[in-house]
Amino acid sequence: MPDELHLNAEIRDMLMDCGLFDSLQPGDFATAAGYFSLASIEQGQTIFHEGDAGTFMCILQHGVVSVRKTDSHGAQVEIANLRKGRTFGEMAVLDGERRSATCVAATPCQLLTLGKDSLDKMLNEAPRIGARIIRVLAVTLSKRLRMHDGQRLA
């Protein structure tokens, strides 16, 4: 049990430090931490493939993640490199659709992960906290879409 408490405290601290969830109350972080997991990914390891079912999302704690899309010739093309604090995989968790890209660890990575089942459980058990997390994810996606739309117009 002490290891579990230590891990929960470590995840809580990571959630507090990532800057995404500033709308949560200080006590909410400990509750939210119980729904997240920590994963270490080796360099070169695929985190998920384009077209996979979206069963979890990630917050990058350490390392670099390469985001790749399959082009019209079937080749993998890198479209972005993600760094500390970035979320990815949240679209599929929120909308239930398949993964829109492949994500590969470009360096050794440490990820906070939130499974779709854990998010659903949080919404049932701690609905206020779950709703705030979903709102943060929606705002993050909205900002990303607006930035992308601005780049397309430029």
Structural domain containing residue 37: 2-152
Q: For the chain, give the percent of residues with pLDDT over 70.
A: 94
More confident residue, 3 or 117: 117
Dihedral (CA of 62, 64, 70, 72) sign: positive
Mean pLDDT of 42-61: 96
Tally of CA atoms within 13 A in the half-sphere of 10 that contains its CB: 13
Amino acid sitting at position 56: F
Contact at 8 Å (CB) between 111 and 58? yes
pTM, to two decimals: 0.88
CATH number, domain containing residue 87: 2.60.120.10
Per-residue model confidence (pLDDT) at position 91: 87
Q: Report the number of secondary-structure helices (H) and strands (E) in the chain.
A: 5, 8
**Is pLDDT of 143 > 90?**
no
The number of distinct structural domains making up the chain is 1
